[in-house]
């Protein structure tokens, strides 16, 4: 290993080396368990004698900074940092025993073997230029693969030249906020995800609440908004599907005003009780920006998303992407393209669809009819359900006692400063993607007890 040490001039060589090594450990530049360079090599690099280095190592072993064992060399010892125990204890307290919060898939089901095969094939065939700075729009291999997949699986009209690969949905939303004329603001569903509202605000946009009822987003109050962000396939968090009449009303509004619809298709692949609802973008590709992501199908850690843009927006968004992070990392793009082209991605999505349907069925079976449960909504698709309850605060308090984490509908309503407020409906937003298979049944059993007050 290379080791950067600064020896102060005028200080004895051994004393200076001991101090430099001691400071490197205290500052965290040398981590616990790190192996130190051999004495001969470090002596050559620093221009000191080997005996000086050996004496410094021996002194720090005596002080407890280093450990030395025959055959494994000299390593940095584990040091107890002040307050570390309290921090670790607090982290354990914060971690729920059972996690039914919405927003994440079962990352334990990540297709590691298929991904590794795809990555190997992609790297083996990638041109050398794939490792250089790339096109802000993303690799042509992935944009071409997405063009075919989105067309056949989601009904999206997606020529490769109108696709921009992003580092997840949030970057896509941020880029659009910077590019669009903010006059009139961004319509965002109420209830909706507070984090996404904050993304719009922090990138210079103004948020306009758009009511959501049992038929989806209501377009009547949009007025002169520059854009509206909707989740048509499975509204978050209520789970309703945008009604065909509302789809027509939204597209009519966008065409008449010259405005934009931003379609967040975050879990559109997961439909259980009938054929998947096609993307809104297929109805009006000239006024809809389609945003998709691999976060719910594969895993959020990949940071891979995509935008399908109307022709008039492509250049502006590409320029904003260029000056944001130049381009999304390349190897993941190549691997995902290979996964899609080989249809391994389709197979994985189908397997997940069956798994999540079983989980949904178990959830409904265990909680339907419980005292205080008014209904379970949004279960035809997606990775979460809305469980309407009589008293949200009381149920959440019981959940905390049981070590159960769930989402609260009250966190999603728009309000002054976006502080939590009580909306017309109270409920829990229950995710069934996060827990591992062996933990999920017990988590649902605990939720049933919490809802029943037992």
Q: What does the domain layout of the chain look like in residue ranges?
A: 13-76, 98-108+347-452, 110-344
Query: What pLDDT sits at residue 222?
Result: 84
- Which helix (H) or strand (E) segment holds residue 44: the answer is helix 39-46
Angle at 308 between CA 303 and CA 310, to 5 degrees: 145
For residue 420, the 8-state DSSP code is: -
Give this prediction's pTM: 0.84
Residues in contact with 265: Cβ distance below 8 Å, sequence separation at least 6, in sequence order: 154, 231, 232, 233, 279, 290, 291, 292
Query: What pLDDT sits at residue 92?
Result: 46
- Give phi and psi for 196, each to the nearest 5: -70, -35
Order of strands across the sheet with 404-408?
98-100, 404-408, 427-431, 384-389, 373-377
Query: What pLDDT sits at residue 324?
Result: 95
Question: Is residue 193 exposed (0-12), middle (13-18) or buried (19+ Cβ within 10 Å)?
Answer: buried
CA-derived radius of gyration, the chain: 27
Query: What pLDDT sits at residue 419?
Result: 47
Which residues of the chain are under the pLDDT cut of 70? 1, 80-94, 181-182, 416-423, 453-454
Query: What pLDDT sits at residue 93?
Result: 47
Query: What pLDDT sits at residue 2?
Result: 78
- What three-state secondary structure class fits 212? strand
- The residues pairing with 405 across neighbouring beta strands, listed in sequence order, are 99
Query: What pLDDT sits at residue 182?
Result: 65
Q: Smallest Cα–Cα separation from 108: which of 362, 433, 431, 441? A: 433
CB 324 within 8 Å of CB 176: no
Residues in contact with 87: Cβ distance below 8 Å, sequence separation at least 6, in sequence order: none
CB 328 within 8 Å of CB 108: no
CB atoms within 10 A of CB 92: 8
Residue 311 to residue 317: CA distance in whole angstroms: 11
Domain 98-108+347-452 in CATH 3.20.20.140? The answer is no
pLDDT digits (tens, 9 = 90+) for 23-60: 999 888 888 989 999 999 999 988 899 999 999 999 99
CATH number corresponding to 13-76: 1.10.10.10
CB 388 within 8 Å of CB 375: yes
CATH fold for domain 110-344: 3.40.640
């Amino acid at each position: 290993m290379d080791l950067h040490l600064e020896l102060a001039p005028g200080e004895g060589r051994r004393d200076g080396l001991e101090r430099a090594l001691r400071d490197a450990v205290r500052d965290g530049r040398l981590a616990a368990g790190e192996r130190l360079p051999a004495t001969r090599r470090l002596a050559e690099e620093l221009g000191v004698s080997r005996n000086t280095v050996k004496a410094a190592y021996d002194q720090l072993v005596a002080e407890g900074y280093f450990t030395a064992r025959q055959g494994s060399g000299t390593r940095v010892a584990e040091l107890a940092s002040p307050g570390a125990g309290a921090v670790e204890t607090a982290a354990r307290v914060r971690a729920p025993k059972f996690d039914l919060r919405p927003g994440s898939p079962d990352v334990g089901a990540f297709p590691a073997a298929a991904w590794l095969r795809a990555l190997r094939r992609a790297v083996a065939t990638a041109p050398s230029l794939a490792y250089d700075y790339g096109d802000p729009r993303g690799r042509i291999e992935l944009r071409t693969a997405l063009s075919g997949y989105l067309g056949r699986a989601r009904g999206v009209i997606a020529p490769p030249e109108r696709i921009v690969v992003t580092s997840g949905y949030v970057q896509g939303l941020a880029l659009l906020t910077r590019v669009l004329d903010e006059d009139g603001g961004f319509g965002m569903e109420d209830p909706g995800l507070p984090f996404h509202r904050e993304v719009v605000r922090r990138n210079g946009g103004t948020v306009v609440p758009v009511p959501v009822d049992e038929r989806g987003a209501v377009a009547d109050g949009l007025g002169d908004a520059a854009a509206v962000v909707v989740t048509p396939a499975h509204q978050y968090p209520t789970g309703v599907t945008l009604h065909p009449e509302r789809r027509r009303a939204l597209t009519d509004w966008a065409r008449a005003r010259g405005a934009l619809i931003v379609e967040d298709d975050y879990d559109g692949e997961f439909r259980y009780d009938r054929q998947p609802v096609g993307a809104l973008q297929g109805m009006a590709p000239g006024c809809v920006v389609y945003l998709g992501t691999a976060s719910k199908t594969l895993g959020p850690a990949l940071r891979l998303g995509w935008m399908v843009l109307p022709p008039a927006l492509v250049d502006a968004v590409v320029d904003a992407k260029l000056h944001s992070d130049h381009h999304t990392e390349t190897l993941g793009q190549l691997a995902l393209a290979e996964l899609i082209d080989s249809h391994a991605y389709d197979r994985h999505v189908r397997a997940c669809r069956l798994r999540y349907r079983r989980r949904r069925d178990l959830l409904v079976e265990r909680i339907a009819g419980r005292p205080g449960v008014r209904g379970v909504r949004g279960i035809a698709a997606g990775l979460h359900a809305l469980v309407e309850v009589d008293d949200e605060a009381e149920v959440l308090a019981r959940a905390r006692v049981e070590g159960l984490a769930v989402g609260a509908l009250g966190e999603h309503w728009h309000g002054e400063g976006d502080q939590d407020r009580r909306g017309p409906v109270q409920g829990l937003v229950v995710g069934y993607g996060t827990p591992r298979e062996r933990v999920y049944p017990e988590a649902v059993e605990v939720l049933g007890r919490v809802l029943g007050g037992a």
